[in-house]
Amino acid sequence: MAKNVVIVESPAKTKTLARFLGEDYDILATIGHIVDLPKSKIGVDTDNNFEPEYHVIKGKEKVISELKKAAKKAKTVFLAPDPDREGEAIAWHVANSLKNGSKAKFVRVAFNEITAPAVLEAMEHPRDIDMNLVNAQQARRVLDRVVGYTVSPFLWKTITHNLSAGRVQSVALRLVCEREVEVTQFKPQEYWQISAVLETVLKEQFSARLVKIGDKTLAKPDDVGNNKIAIGTKAEADGYLKDLQKASYTVSLIKRTEKQRRPPAPFITSTLQQDAARAFGFAPKKTMSLAQKLYEGIEMGREGATGLITYMRTDSTRVSGEALKTVRGYIKKEYGSDYLPPKPNVFGKKKSAQDAHEAIRPTYMNLPPQKLSKYLTVQQLKLYTLIWSRFLASQMKPAVMDVVSVDIEADRFLFRATSQKLVFDGFLKVYHEQKEPDENGNGLNGYVELPELAENDLLKLIKLNPSQSFTKPPPRFSEAMLVRRLEADGIGRPSTYATIIATLKDRKYVEAASGKLVPTDLGVAVNKILVENLPKLFNVKFTAEMEKELDLIEDGTDDWVKVLNGFYRPFKKTIDALKKKQSAIKESMTEKTDQKCPKCDSPMVIKWGRNGRFLACSAYPECKTTKPLPEEAALMKTDQVCDKCGAPMVVKVGRFGRFLACSRYPDCKNTKAITLGIKCPRTGCNGELVEKKTRGSRLFYGCTSYPKCNFASWDKPVNKACASCGHPFLVLKLSKRKGEFYKCPGCKDEFPIEAPDREPVAR
């Protein structure tokens, strides 16, 4: 008897599905796409309705052969790649590849979650392949290919070879570069704040902040510099302090309010990436990789492979009725009726939301995180716990706070003190949303403990505290902040956020420094060329409009060939005009210097290479002499000598970070790791700690004895022993609120940079 065949994308799903479907089904995996546009050419016929030229991806021949063999014997082939545009396109490509020679019926099924009820329900209601989804994916792929294969050669001829430009990634690069300009050109503005320590008749003290002088309200720290009133100089502050010393202080108003804090919506792709980045430092790419495994299925002993979360690429906060019923039952049982709202919480959606899938949530409410610790890796458990807690919180009652605001008059001055007391924790019982400090590094709300006060109470001034501050520049984007900005601007879609940022890092257009994205010299140069010469194409508004066009194709309300024609004709005209200016643009990127070539005495010029700027002989190609820029050459020099030939060692940058190399290369090819002068802390290991880089270009510190020793630290070790517990080294930490400080990996004590050998500042 012929078996039915189910074809999925990932091999990880096959074991999970096999448990639900039984022996009557063969379950095979495509392992992603099986065909794609060719790598060696554009592969799109722009003169023939943008007909794509699909080729079998290298290495997928065996996969297709096995799929064909199974399809020939099958009665029905269930096409079950992921439930999104890419998955629909894979299903279409698979069907086209297998139909010839097979009498099987081909149908599409989509699993929003890998659970027995969801899978069996989908299998009972198969459908045809949705060509609107396929055409939307095809339009995006063709559009990106046309832009990439047209603009990238333009970059090669104006900057350097092997650069590339992506339609969406280049807009993200523009955002990072423009923010960098805002940061570097920012001029701090001085401002002063005044607080007063006041005492009641019962000798209870509290602090209040000056908020008004006469009829002028002072700006809050975040608003200083936005045409708001502030105390601008020390002289001005000193003048007010003299008057305040003579003033009498009276409670003029006490305002009590009840404040509710509503629970957040369950996670969508962007909010999951943001929260995971803030809570655990996960890059969006890492978050999506972990979520994919949780969705596809985790081996759980006798239970077998189990899908633990719903599909993780979604922009909808919608939750199924059955899931709402289950989670409300769980909340009532575990936390009591006081935490359960009368009706399920419903959350609004953005106009651009596709709403094709539910929000990201646990699939089984009988599998809380504590039951899964022995089956999940540490990172998987962290992410699952985050998803679990957020989903629970989304269906709980709001938290309730009593807020008391006290105004104190001091002649023409008004001070204010505010206290907040949690009276019902509500959803905070299970979840606290991760917040980044604001642009001035403030992570707290400024609440203080207040004594019992009444209106017209006289207060005694204990002391005045003037404090000088300066406005801060807007923060550089963290990966979480960039995802939030891309989502807000309508750039990309849930399936692309992680890839956008990973691509910028892989191309070395941006790098992560202290958790923030900073454009490299190369990234700045690429952005400059693209923005100056293709301002409309690499524009936030234009790119967002194009995303809407792709959504209309998916909805079936627009034709994909028509959309591409509307884009391509003006685009080609612009590119044709640019080709005539390539030489002039390239010349503008070459800087003259007063240095002479050491070989032919010709002037040296600054050119661009894949790793940044360098000095090159202007007589190229007759003379091919190159040198690093003086400032970079100075950084490259070291006081170490080669232990093979005695020549000086210099610092070079390789695929996995910096290393020492002999300056006589290629005559001497000796290399060494750059050590920190710190012994590895692992017992019995004789290695030293060195600076390394991951494949994603993230800096970390590991042992020279790897792979025998796998010690690693994201924080930079510093050769200073802990004054509290004697640990052999501290690590350098950075936070926006505290700045730089040292922390002990052993006892967790923290020390100021200036005095790590003194008493700790926190324990």
User: What's the rounded Cα separation, in Å, for the pair 643 and 611?
Assistant: 28
DSSP string, 433-486: ------TTS--S----------TT-EEEEEEEEEEEEE--PPPPPPHHHHHHHH
Structure tokens at 352: 């651009």
Structure tokens at 683: 């017992």
- Specify whether the CB–CB gap between 312 and 114 falls below 8 A: no
Give me the active site residues, please.
311
The conformational region for residue 348 under phi > 0 = left, psi -120 to 50 = alpha, else beta, is: beta
Beta-bridge partner residues of 78: 6, 107
For residue 244, CA distances in Å to 4, 340, 414 come to 85, 50, 10
- Specify whether the CB–CB gap between 418 and 404 falls below 8 A: yes
Contacts of 129 (CB under 8 A, 6+ apart): 79, 88, 91, 92, 95, 106, 108
Which pairs count as long-range contacts for 330-334, CB under 8 Å and 24+ apart, including other chains?
A: 330/365, 330/392, 331/392, 331/395, 331/396
User: What's the rounded Cα separation, in Å, for the pair 518 and 505?
Assistant: 10
User: What's the rounded Cα separation, in Å, for the pair 691 and 717?
Assistant: 10
- Specify whether the CB–CB gap between 500 and 126 falls below 8 A: no
The total number of residues shown for the chain amounts to: 763
At CA 634, angle to CA 647 and CA 641, rounded to 5?
Answer: 20
Beta strands in 578-627 (DSSP E): 591-596, 603-609, 612-617, 626-627
Q: What are phi and psi of 691, to 5 degrees?
A: -80, 135
Peptide bond into 717 cis (omega under 30): no
Bridge pairing between strands 205-213 and 216-217: antiparallel
User: What's the rounded Cα separation, in Å, for the pair 647 and 667?
Assistant: 11
User: What's the rounded Cα separation, in Å, for the pair 704 and 142?
Assistant: 46
DSSP code of residue 428: G
Which pairs count as long-range contacts for 201-207, CB under 8 Å and 24+ apart, including other chains?
A: 201/457, 201/458, 202/451, 204/451, 205/462, 206/417, 206/448, 206/449, 206/450, 206/451, 207/417, 207/448, 207/465
Q: At what angle do helices 378-394 and 321-335 cross, to 10 degrees?
A: 90
Peptide bond into 570 cis (omega under 30): no
| Start-to-end Cα distance in the chain | 70
Pick from 522, 535, 600: nearest CA to 571: 535
At 608, the amino acid letter reads W
Residue linked to tokens 């963290």? 478
User: What's the rounded Cα separation, in Å, for the pair 14 and 8?
Assistant: 7
Residue linked to tokens 């998955």? 87
- Specify whether the CB–CB gap between 112 and 357 falls below 8 A: yes
